[in-house]
Amino acid sequence: MAENKDLFAYNEDSIISLDWKEHIRLRPGMYIGKAGDGSSPDDGIYVLLKEVIDNCIDEHTMGYGKYVDIKIQGKTVTVRDYGRGIPLGKVVDVVSKINTGAKYDSKAFQKSVGLNGVGTKAVNALSSSFIVTAFRDGKQKKAEFERGHLIKEHKEERTTEDNGTEITFVPDEQLFKNYHYLNDFLDNQFWNYCFLNAGLVINYNGKRYISKNGLLDLLQRKTNDDELRYPIIHLKAEDIEVAITHENQYGEEYYSFVNGQFTTQGGTHLAAFKEGYVKTIRDFYKKDYDATDIRGSICGAVSIRVQEPVFESQTKTKLGSMVMYENGPGVKNFIADFLGKELNNFLHKNSTVAESLKKRIEQNERERKELAGIKKLANERAKKANLHNKKLRDCRYHLNDPAEGKHKEDVLAKRLESTIFITEGDSASGSITKSRNVETQAVFSLRGKPLNCFGLTKKVVYENEEFNLLQHALNIEEGYETLRYNNIVIATDADVDGMHIRLLMMTFFLQFFPDLVKNGHVYILETPLFRVRNKNETIYCYDENEKQDAIKKIGTNAEITRFKGLGEISPDEFGRFIGENIRLQPVMLLPEIHIQHLLEYYMGKNTPKRQDFIIENLKVELDLAEVSSI
């Protein structure tokens, strides 16, 4: 018994002190959320980039530096601004001493997003190579680091370079496995910076980003003109800007920002915007409309600037409680007063817009009342089914768990990792269930092929048992914000039936819950098509080229297995593909894509144009099949 007690001994030797870089590397989730491989917009490699760019934006906000140059070549990132430049005597300290920086001086940085003195230190500690160079008043100072360790501090030199700061870093592959940058995520990130900072110019690998009209430009990029019920409402005042419109699709879509930071998880400012918008509409039309009818099909954006913002974590994806100014109004009252005045005035001056908005609200009201009876029966069926069915193998973590107390950062990290796999059949769901991480990964098993819901109304979501149970598993009946899992992964076989099921599920989400796709929550699981092995080595291959490379490496006597279904992959093997080496293909909508046109083309009637597309791509598939048989 004494021996067992020794295993849990708690004494002076149990107390460990870590320096700043060791702590960041041991608990990266506290600083950058999840590591990831770059397949999600909130993966760590994008957070590292954001932390560096935020400093450039803060310089621009203070009136220094109109341009930011960004280069990404392979895994190497370089960011150069033209602000004031780090004071040369503090170059090393600013990037390597925790809680050191100018953001604590509100005179030097007003309404900054970076307040904790952590950002560039986290980038430094989590990068295999980190080089900072400051240019200031004809002199420059350079320092080189590896995983936070200072390797070389250069002497000050004369320079003809313009003032500013340049940082080059390479995210550490020990922490970020098999990572890659996706241009679509970067493109969105850079546009957001420009939408929120009038006059800012970002040059990325030769592409130029600039916005003149702020959130108006953002909503024009996120919406399609032929889907809008009325022109975008754009309102601005000191420290606040909003843009609002309604589309024809289901769901609610919001973009919220604080001091130029995209708060993907919302927070007090977004809640205040939604509440203030509903109240203003009710007051204007002098009718107590249901809040869901007012906000149904809305696409809105809100940006505020405040001093000393309080975020729920270092990743700054959700704004906590705070006040605008010392002894000033809270965020809730500030936003409510702005909407109550400016939006009300706009609607009085633009009667055509006001009438179109009213028709959209009343249409939502009619549809909600028509669905009321069906929803009640569907909810009762779902509750009854949940007592007996085995469609959902849940995980221990739930998105709605409170993130409070000393474990707050761990809960927030798990929130980002929470995943539900949507699989076909019992064999596939069985393999994933046995090999998953039960803490953060859940499994939902489909029964056969789902219904093609293109062109149908939301009534089908409640009448179709499969869709109804999935909706309840995701907890999205009342809207996107109650989503139970951060990542929704469609996991189907790599055959014709699997591709068809994948397409039907994507149709379901795009038709009824497009905001899940637009906000980057829906993914396709990539699983290996081949296993190439001999007695000494096993290589899993995701395409024909990888298979050929593996054969060359192992030799011609290699055993080659073609996986046709997920059920053919053993649980032990599956664990390798849904763990830290998971490959996810994000389902992304480019700004120019019109959802209804897209669905009509692929899921509507078989037009001659689509027949030509199928024939042309079938030829490509046949060619690949011939190559595979050689």
Domain stops at, among 368, 395, 418: 368
Residue 624: per-residue pLDDT: 42
* Residue 99 pLDDT: 58
Pairing of strands 201-204, 164-171: unpaired
Answer for the pair 177, 580: CB distance below 8 angstroms, yes or no.
Answer: yes
169 and 45 in a common domain: yes
| The CA-based dihedral angle spanning residues 26, 30, 33, 34, taken in that order and rounded to the nearest 10 degrees | 20
- At 317, give phi and psi (nearest 5°): -90, -10
Q: Are residues 356 and 421 in the same domain?
A: no
Q: Which residues pair with 487 in a beta bridge?
A: 419
Residue 181: domain span = 21-209
* In-domain check, residue 183: yes
H or E segment to which residue 371 belongs = helix 351-388
Q: Is residue 576 part of a domain?
A: yes
CATH code at position 530:
3.40.50.670
Report the domain count for the chain.
Answer: 3
349 and 416 share one domain? no
Coil, helix or strand for 229? coil
Residues of the chain with pLDDT under 50: 1, 102-117, 323-327, 387, 405-406, 620-630
Whether 167 is covered by a domain: the verdict is yes
Q: How many CA atoms lie within 13 A of 12 on its CB side?
A: 0
CATH number at residue 57: 3.30.565.10
Domain endpoint, select from 349, 368, 387? 368
Note the pLDDT tens digit of each residue in 225-265: 777 888 999 999 988 999 999 988 888 889 988 887 788 77
Name the residue among 68, 185, 60 with its Cα closest to residue 111.
60
- Same domain assignment for residues 374 and 361: no
Residues 223 and 153 in one domain: no
Checking phi first, is residue 63 left (phi over 0); if not, alpha (psi -120 to 50) or beta? left
Residue 9, domain member (yes or no): no
φ, ψ of residue 205 to 5 degrees: the values are 45, 40
Residues 107 and 253 in one domain: no
Task: Choose the final residue of a domain: 209, 229, 257.
Answer: 209
Distances (CA, A) of 226 to 229, 246, 594: 8, 11, 9
CATH, residue 354: 3.30.230.10
Sequence-ordered list of residues with C-beta below 8 angstroms from that of 268, at least 6 positions apart, any chain:
319, 320, 321, 322, 331, 332
Neighbours of 141 (CB within 10 A): 23
Q: How far is CA 44 from CA 123, 192, 207, in A?
A: 10, 18, 24
> 415: closest CA among 13, 34, 26, 78?
34
Task: Provide, for the chain, the percentages of residues in helix, strand and coil under a 3-state DSSP scheme, each rounded to the nearest 5.
Answer: 45, 20, 35
Sheet holding 530-533, edge to edge: 538-541, 530-533, 559-562
- Do 518 and 538 lie in a common domain? yes
Q: How far, in Å, CA of 247 to CA of 226, rounded?
A: 9
Together in a domain, 76 and 174? yes
Residue at 4 is within a domain: no
User: Do 129 and 146 touch, CB atoms closer than 8 A?
Assistant: yes
Q: Are residues 403 and 387 in the same domain?
A: yes
**Token representation of residue 568:** 């053919």
The residue with tokens 């869901």 is 292
Residues 411 and 341 in one domain: no
**pLDDT given for residue 14 in this prediction:** 55
Domain assignment of residue 279, yes or no:
yes
Give yes or no: residues 48 and 192 share one domain.
yes
User: What is the number of alpha carbons within 13 Å of residue 267 lying toward its C-beta?
Assistant: 25
Q: What is the tens place of the pLDDT at every residue in 450-508?
A: 999 988 888 888 888 889 889 989 988 877 778 889 999 999 887 788 888 999 999 99
The torsion angles phi and psi of 142, rounded to 5 degrees, stand at -125, 145
Q: Model confidence over 513-542: pLDDT tens digits?
A: 988 988 889 999 988 889 899 988 889 888
Which pLDDT value is given to residue 629?
37
Same domain, 497 and 507: yes
Return d(Cα 442, Cα 420) in angstroms, integer. Answer: 5
State pTM to two decimals: 0.78
Token duo for residue 98: 């925790």
Give residue 156's pLDDT: 94
Within-domain flag for 6: no
Evaluate whether residue 14 is within a structural domain. Answer: no
- Beta 487-491 vs 522-526: how paired, if at all? parallel
- Please provide the size of the chain in residues: 630
